[in-house]
Amino acid sequence: MQAYFFGNSGSALFGVYHPPGPKRFQDRAVLLCYSIGREYMKAHWAFRRLSKMLSDEGFHVFRFDYFGTGDSAGESSEGSVLRWKADVVCAFQELMDISRAKEASIVGFRLGAALSNEVCAEGFHVKNLVLWDPVVIGKNYMEELKALHQKRPSKYGEIPAGQDFKELLGYQLPPGFQGEIEKIDLLSTARFSAEKTSLIVSNEKSEFSALRDRLAALNVDFTFHLVEETGDSGDVERVDDVMLVNDILLKIREVIGEKQL
Amino acid sequence: MKEKIINFGSNKGCIGVLTEPDAKPEKGCSPALLMWNAGVLHRVGPYRLYVDMARTVAGIGFPALRFDISGKGDSAPRRQNVGEGERSIQDIIDAMDFLTGNRGVERFVLLGLCSGADEAFPAAVRDPRVAGLILLDGFGYRTVGYYFHHYGPRLFKINPWMNFFKSNLNAIISRINEEGNRIGKGENVFVREFPAKNKAKKNLLSLLDRGARVLFVYSGGVAGSYYNYKGQFKDMFGGTIFGENLEVEYFEEASHTYTRLRDRKKLIAHVCSWVQNRFGTIEGKKAHIASS
**Residue of A9, A156, A166, A239 to mutate when probing chain B, most B C-beta within 10 A:** A239
Question: In terms of CA atoms, which chain A residue is nearest residue B51?
Answer: A71
Give the percent of chain A with pLDDT over 90. 68
Give the percent of chain B with pLDDT over 70. 81
The C-alpha angle A178, A46, B193, rounded to 5 degrees, equals: 100
Please compute the mean of the pLDDT values over residues A182-195 and round it to a whole number: 87
**Residue of A240, A241, A244 to mutate when probing chain B, most B C-beta within 10 A:** A240
Residue B272 has pLDDT above 90, yes or no: yes
Å between A241 CA and nearest CA of chain B: 7
In whole angstroms, what is the distance from residue A66 CA to residue B235 CA?
46
Dihedral angle over CA of A144, A145, A150, A154, nearest 10: 150
Question: In terms of CA atoms, which chain A residue is nearest residue B76?
Answer: A1
List residues bridging with B248 in a β-sheet. Answer: B216
List residues bridging with B27 in a β-sheet. Answer: none
B260 interaction partners in chain A (CB closer than 8 Å): 155-157, 167, 170
**Shortest CB distance from B40 goes to which of A4, A76, A240?**
A240
Å between B41 CA and nearest CA of chain A: 6
Per-residue pLDDT reduced to its tens digit, B64-94: 999 999 999 999 998 777 777 788 999 999 9
List residues bridging with A199 in a β-sheet. Answer: A131, A224
Kindly state the DSSP code that residue B157 receives in the 8-state scheme. -
Per-residue pLDDT reduced to its tens digit, A211-235: 999 999 999 999 999 998 765 554 5
Give the percent of chain B with pLDDT over 90. 71
**Residue of B47, B68, B258, B260 to mutate when probing chain A, most A C-beta within 10 A:** B47
Chain-chain contact of A170 with B74 (C-beta, under 8 angstroms): no
Question: In terms of CA atoms, which chain A residue is nearest residue B48?
Answer: A70
pTM here is 0.90
In whole angstroms, what is the distance from residue B1 CA to residue B20 CA?
6
Q: B158 with B166: CB under 8 angstroms?
A: no
What's the pLDDT score for residue A130? 97
- Where b means 16+ CB within 10 Å and e means fewer, A215-253 reads beeeebebebbebebeeebbeeeebbbbbebbebbebbb
**Shortest CB distance from B74 goes to which of A3, A76, A171?**
A3
Q: A98 with A105: CB under 8 angstroms?
A: no
Chain-chain contact of B46 with A167 (C-beta, under 8 angstroms): no
Q: B236 with B194: CB under 8 angstroms?
A: no
Please compute the mean of the pLDDT values over residues B152-172 and round it to a whole number: 62
Per-residue pLDDT reduced to its tens digit, B176-192: 544 444 444 444 445 68
